Structure 1
């Protein structure tokens, strides 16, 4: 690979795509009964290190379209069957053989091809229908009371968000399930533009100090009880 291409590949090691690829490798490793984790070590840690090593070996050899695959770019992502993996480092295949996961280098490349297929299916999958994400508890106060859905990226900002390329189109219908009091508070502490720009996940909302104070208060309130 050219030096510039290698540097670009290493620059996205913290991406969702790289993390997803590593997870796919880990699942493939677990599915092979011949893989034995040393019981003297932390098995979770060992699997993480092993999958990370393999991912780091294979990732730089992938074409950019594969490393940046997403639902939005799904039509430009090559099929695993169309990839040769000829630039895959020998260390990738030798490591799988040494651990007894594959019998030779060709079988190692087939293992990689299947993992890449899993990866493409994962990162190019359509976003979930918002109704399928429904929770039993409010995602802020954690009370089991009637819920509403809060568009994490307010619908009034969608056109602006797409024009400014703030978020991919697949994120536009992301929702959080909130009780009415929490839903009202969210729209009270930030306007639509701020919500779309800075608080577009439930985790970002939970990180606000005023929301944290509200959560502690709301969690102690009993739904349907009228105070005199």
Structure 2
């Protein structure tokens, strides 16, 4: 595991993307049976297997390098970006044997989707709010650079007012979340569902999938190198 690449923040960002996707693919019963440490261990193992097989452009993805990345790999979810033959057999077999996916092709799609999320986050501009905020993330409670999450997503503001779900005064309410937790929130529910049913941090934390993510995320050390 402990190559120079494994000590980069990109390695751990990719690991978090895999962990969120594992939670998404698990059934409720599977999640109840799995311990929090088991998720961390499994995500670490999968990342260790997959990371060395990725193209260098993916492993070095950053906001500054986004242009060259998109030139060399325009669409990370395409089969041209990453071949099944070059992917770690242990990575594929582990996903299948643990029942996360049903076959090799689905495991490969699992990897490509996790990579698409990873690229989006790795190449995202740094939040301008990090210089003005010093409070902890409202989900994982870590003191790291924060983004603001519109609790009622802006894309559905017009519908919210038309349907009378919330008064106009609530539309700009935000939660301050680290980037991994912000991504987790948007992965568990669509914008309309967030606006209608999960418009406070308290309501988000009532979800079992967010509770499981919170336990995982609280153990990570975002914003620092880990190795």
Over residues 64-92 of structure 1, what are the superposed CA-to-partner deviations in whole Å (9 max), with x where a residue is unaligned? Answer: 11101100000122231241233111111
Structure 2 distance, partners of 1:14, 1:54, is 15
Q: Any residues of structure 2 matched to 1:24-39 within 5 Å, and which?
A: 24-34=17-27, 36-37=30-31, 39=33
Structure 2 distance, partners of 1:114, 1:126, is 21
Corresponding residue for 2:59? 67
Corresponding residue for 1:216? none
Corresponding residue for 1:20? 13
**Alpha carbons 2:54, 2:82 under 8 Å: kept:** no
Displacement of 1:129: 2.3
In angstroms, what is the RMSD of aligned CA positions?
2.7
Moved more, 98-107 or 21-30: 98-107
What is the DSSP-based 3-state SS (H/G/I as helix, E as strand, rest coil) of the residue aligned with 2:20? Answer: helix
Runs of 5+ in structure 1 lacking a partner? 1-6, 138-202, 205-228
Runs of 5+ in structure 2 lacking a partner? 136-222
Corresponding residue for 2:103? 104
Displacement of 1:136: 7.8
Displacement of 1:126: 0.8
Over residues 14-45 of structure 1, what are the superposed CA-to-partner deviations in whole Å (9 max), with x where a residue is unaligned? Answer: 10000000000000001113372474x7x221
Aligned pair count reads 129
Displacement of 1:133: 5.8
User: Which of 33, 41, 44 is residue 52 of structure 1 equivalent to?
Assistant: 44
What is the DSSP-based 3-state SS (H/G/I as helix, E as strand, rest coil) of the residue aligned with 1:52? Answer: helix
What is the DSSP-based 3-state SS (H/G/I as helix, E as strand, rest coil) of the residue aligned with 1:10? Answer: coil
**Alpha carbons 1:28, 1:115 under 8 Å: kept:** yes
Q: Any residues of structure 2 matched to 1:94-133 within 5 Å, and which?
A: 94-130=93-129
